[in-house]
């Protein structure tokens, strides 16, 4: 089944862990998102990011690749539970685009059998996601 919705960042704590040059670095970010739509709930994420071009004067001019693991706790079309996803994406010209894969056997409670994959996109106009899942 296809599901979709929006998400809103509510926490973003990013720290450098390797500075290669003034414009190139690796960071780690602890993030929380509020999900709305077919999934209603809170997502906690740990990202590792590699900036190939970092612009401290305007972060939207930066370019990066990132990987992360997302855990969503809430309801999916009325079913209560949680599940985790692997996330891989790019940030270019102020736009983040990712592909996500549900981690097998990560579902709990009424979502224990969940599987699937999806994508999300975020820019200055908002954040949207969509997934193809099986329950």
More confident: 33 or 55: 33
Give 133's strand partners.
Answer: 116
93-114: average pLDDT? 97
Q: Give domain 2-134's CATH architecture.
A: Beta Barrel (2.40)
Residues 5 and 39: beta-carbon distance below 8 Å = yes
3-state SS, residue 42:
strand
Give the confidence band of 57 by pLDDT, cuts at 50, 70, 90: confident
71-93: average pLDDT? 97
Give 41's strand partners.
Answer: 35, 74
pLDDT of residue 91: 96
Cα distance between residue 66 and residue 127, in whole Å = 17
């Amino acid at each position: 089944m296809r599901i979709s919705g929006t998400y809103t960042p509510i926490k973003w704590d990013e720290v450098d862990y390797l500075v290669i040059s003034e414009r190139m670095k690796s960071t780690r970010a602890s993030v929380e998102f509020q999900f709305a739509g077919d999934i209603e709930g809170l997502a906690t994420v740990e990202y590792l990011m590699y900036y190939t071009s970092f612009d401290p004067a305007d972060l939207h001019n930066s370019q990066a690749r990132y990987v992360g693991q997302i855990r969503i706790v809430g309801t999916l079309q009325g079913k209560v539970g949680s599940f985790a996803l692997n996330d891989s994406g790019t940030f270019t010209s102020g736009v983040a685009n990712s592909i996500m894969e549900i981690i097998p056997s990560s579902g709990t409670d009424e979502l224990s059998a969940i599987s699937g994959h999806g994508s999300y996109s975020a820019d200055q106009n908002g954040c949207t996601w969509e997934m193809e899942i099986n329950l």
